[in-house]
Amino acid sequence: MSLPARKVVVLGAGFIGTHVARTLAFAPSTLVQLSSRSPSTASLSYGTSSPDARFTAVPADITDPASLERAFHSAHAVISLVGIMHGSDKQFQDIQWRGAENVARAAHAAGAKLVHLSAIGAHPDSDIPYFRTKALGEQAVLGACPNATVLRPSLVFGPGDGFFARFASLSRFLPFLPVFGGGNSRFQPVFVGDLAHVIEICTRDDSAVQDVCAGKVIQCGGPDVLTYREMMSLILKHTHRTRPIISLPWAAGFAQGFIMERLPLNPLTLTRAQVKQLQMDNIVDPDLPPDAPRFEDVLKKFAGRSLTPLDDVLPTYL
């Protein structure tokens, strides 16, 4: 006799949400519900060979608590992936702070486990709206739902990502690839498949899992630490293109951001806040407390996987 299906709500239909939903399809007796303002399951069944994979779509808006209450009814777990990269201060607050709080309150009321996606670099005193509201969202989530798991990834890569794929496309027509200030800021890109597996692990009822994950903040990075310039070089390597990598002064980046953030979104969009982000390293804290959960340990212990290097994946989609 088959076990009753557990409902796991994936809130957010973008790049990471699609990969998470496909990973959840292989979890035993799981109904994957995709929720966003206009959800669709059209892209989810593609690439999943699990004969028991079940998907459904239910609309939800993180700024509307009533819609979240309806979407989370009888949910076993909620995975909150909603975030923005561009917008006004108010939009960042409404989505990444107050919206995250709405999700946490609704998940707690439904008795569902909550996995919340934040970002390395989140800090409540940051002058960058993205990082500040990510940190305030973390605080609100853990205040409303103390057993939630907060994941802080570095740059996430994989088929459909918004960084490596974007610059691979730009390298087709740009005469050079730009970096700012020498391109020395460091990143620790994490494979979306590894992140999706850890998200799925955090939804399990396993007491050993919950001892590690519940109420914790986990920083997520891959096995490679690379500078921005080195990532540009990798893109050129795997697209088999030859372009100079030219360093521009930070002032040029801020000037470009001042202009581009006022124009409609396009492949060249860059904001001044994003230029500020590029001035900082985006890697897992090397001085984590000894008792802090390690992303790679969770992945190895509960999924039997090691961290995926960039070179294993980039050639498959660039």
Rounded average pLDDT over 7-30? 91
Find all residues with CB under 8 Å of 93, minimum gap 6, and list them. 129, 133, 136
Q: Which of 2-16, 18-32, 67-81, 136-150 has the lowest mean pLDDT?
A: 2-16
Find all residues with CB under 8 Å of 227, minimum gap 6, and list them. 183, 184, 185, 186, 187
Buried b (16+ CB within 10 A) or exposed e, 219-248: bbbbbbbbbbbbbbbbbbebbeeebebeeb
pLDDT tens-digit profile of 212-252? 999 999 999 999 999 999 999 999 999 999 999 999 999 99
304/46 Cα distance (integer angstroms)? 25
Q: Is the pLDDT of residue 62 over 70?
A: yes
Rounded average pLDDT over 126-151? 96
Share of the chain above pLDDT 70, in %: 95
pLDDT tens-digit profile of 179-223? 999 999 999 999 999 999 999 999 999 999 999 999 999 999 999
Q: DSSP code of 282?
A: B
Q: How confident is the model at residue 54 (pLDDT cuts 50, 70, 90)?
A: confident
Angle (CA) 126 267 272, round 5°: 25
Q: Write down the pLDDT at residue 264.
A: 82
Helix (H, G, I), strand (E, B) or coil at 255: helix
User: Domains of the chain by range and CATH?
Assistant: 6-157+189-221+283-307 (3.40.50.720)
Most confidently predicted of 36-40, 77-81, 248-252, 255-259:
77-81
pLDDT tens-digit profile of 272-309? 888 899 999 999 999 999 889 999 999 999 999 999 99
Q: What is the pTM of this model?
A: 0.93
